[in-house]
């Protein structure tokens, strides 16, 4: 274990890329850390005001993307494992589950300078194998410029590269996959229908509605530099989170006439159950679990390949405007569709 530290966090430099598993310096958001107790850490991050992926949302008013916070939490979990739990830098990581909760949307408003985030991490569980730590459960609280904005619990595990390769080879052999077969992408839905400005950041195609259930096809574009910062052998968690969010956004508009401009991802509980393979078509099955009431709507979403679940989530969207404005959006949508 590393020595206990007590010092002020700084924001002048990013942490080494290898400690957060990023290839591009511009995709590293963590800047510093300190251990304040045996099972408690402080981690600093700078939130970019402009980013090709995380600043592309059309939600009004402009705010830091909740999925940017997910990425910061992901980096914090990996960084903590390497820095405080002595996980080797060449180990491979698996995220088992994650539960994000936006506790104060107002704290996400973008100001005149890049946001200074402080993550307060509490180590609530460890996984061991042969007396070696191989997994971690962290409860994380993120503050932006001193105000609490979000919490997240992450559960992850890690293993040597050789063990990873054996596991992946066995799993792919069972599916009889042919290497390098391209993933079917389909024609993407309009960017505005999923709360995006750029079509490059749309990850949905081929939406089919069945009553109060939708089935969306997920586009796996390995050319997207934010979702694929470096080569991978499976569909990354960042794309899965985005697939869940865009599926929920599309469903909210398709089923209830709610404008994506006025919806914010407020909570998402996600479980990863199997590797997503590039060669297999990937769909999301979206079911309503909470119809619009007050300011929220919720969906149960299952991501599948050949009808086998690879991940599941419960996604809560929150209206960012008063209910009267939301109802105006609904009436305008109904009139345009008539």
Q: What is the pLDDT of residue 332?
A: 44
**Residue 7: burial class (beta carbons within 10 Å; 0-12, 13-18, 19+):** exposed
Q: In what order do the strands lie in the sheet with 40-47?
A: 30-37, 40-47, 115-129, 132-144, 147-159, 92-102, 263-272, 308-319, 296-305, 283-293, 213-218, 204-210
Q: What is the pLDDT of residue 95?
A: 97
Q: What is the pLDDT of residue 211?
A: 76
Convert the pLDDT of each residue in 287-298 to its tens digit. Answer: 999 778 778 999
Q: What is the pLDDT of residue 327?
A: 44
Helix axes 66-84, 237-256, angle to 10 degrees: 160
Cα 83 to chain center, whole Å? 22
Q: What is the pLDDT of residue 30?
A: 98
Token pair for residue 32?
């510093």
Q: What is the pLDDT of residue 322?
A: 52
In the chain, alpha helices (H): 66-84, 161-175, 237-256, 323-337
- Among candidates 248, 188, 191, 201, which has minimal Cα distance to 228? 201
Domains and CATH numbers, the chain: 17-159 (3.10.129.10), 178-337 (3.10.129.10)
For 262-300, b/e burial (b = at least 16 CB within 10 A) is: bbbbbbbbbebeebbbbbbbbbbbbebeeebeeeebbbb
Ranges of the chain with pLDDT below 70: 1-7, 178-185, 321-338
Q: What is the pLDDT of residue 334?
A: 46
Q: What is the pLDDT of residue 4?
A: 47
Given phi > 0 = left and psi -120 to 50 = alpha, else beta, which region is 206?
left
Q: What is the pLDDT of residue 7?
A: 66
Q: What is the pLDDT of residue 184?
A: 56
**Distance separating alpha carbons of residues 213 and 286, to the nearest angstrom:** 6
**Residue 119: burial class (beta carbons within 10 Å; 0-12, 13-18, 19+):** buried
- DSSP string computed for 83-135: HHS---TT-EEEEEEEEEEES-GGGGB--SS-EEEEEEEEEEEEEEETTEEEE
**Residue 329: burial class (beta carbons within 10 Å; 0-12, 13-18, 19+):** buried
Q: What is the pTM of this model?
A: 0.91
């Amino acid at each position: 274990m590393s020595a206990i530290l007590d010092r002020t966090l700084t924001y002048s430099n990013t942490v080494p890329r290898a400690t957060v598993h990023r290839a591009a310096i511009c995709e590293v958001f963590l800047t510093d850390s300190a251990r304040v107790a045996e099972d408690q850490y402080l981690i600093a991050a700078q939130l970019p005001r402009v980013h090709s992926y995380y600043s592309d949302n059309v939600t009004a008013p402009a705010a830091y993307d909740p999925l940017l916070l997910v990425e910061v939490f992901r980096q914090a979990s990996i960084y903590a494992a390497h820095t405080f739990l002595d996980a080797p830098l060449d180990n491979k990581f698996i995220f088992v589950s994650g539960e994000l909760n936006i506790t104060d949307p107002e704290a996400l408003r973008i100001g005149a300078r890049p946001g200074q985030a402080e993550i307060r991490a509490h180590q609530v569980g460890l996984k061991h194998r042969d007396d070696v730590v191989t997994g971690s459960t962290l409860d994380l609280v993120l503050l932006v410029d001193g105000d609490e904005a979000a919490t997240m619990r992450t559960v992850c595990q890690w293993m040597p590269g050789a063990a990873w390769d054996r596991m992946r080879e066995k799993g792919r052999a069972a599916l009889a996959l042919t290497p390098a077969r391209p993933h079917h992408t389909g024609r993407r839905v309009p960017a505005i229908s999923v709360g995006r400005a750029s079509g490059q950041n749309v990850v949905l195609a081929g939406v089919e509605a069945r009553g109060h259930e939708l089935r969306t096809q997920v586009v796996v574009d390995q050319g997207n530099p934010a979702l694929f910062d470096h080569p991978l052998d499976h569909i990354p968690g960042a794309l899965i989170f985005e697939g869940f969010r865009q599926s929920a956004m599309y469903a909210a508009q398709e089923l209830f006439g709610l404008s994506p401009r006025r919806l914010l991802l407020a909570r998402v509980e996600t479980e990863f159950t199997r590797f997503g393979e590039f060669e297999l078509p990937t769909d999301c099955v979206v079911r309503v679990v909470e119809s619009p009431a007050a300011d929220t709507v919720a969906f149960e979403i299952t991501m599948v390949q050949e009808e086998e679940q690879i991940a599941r989530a419960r996604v809560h969207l929150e209206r960012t405007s008063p209910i009267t404005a939301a109802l105006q959006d609904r009436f305008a949508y109904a009139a345009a569709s008539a």
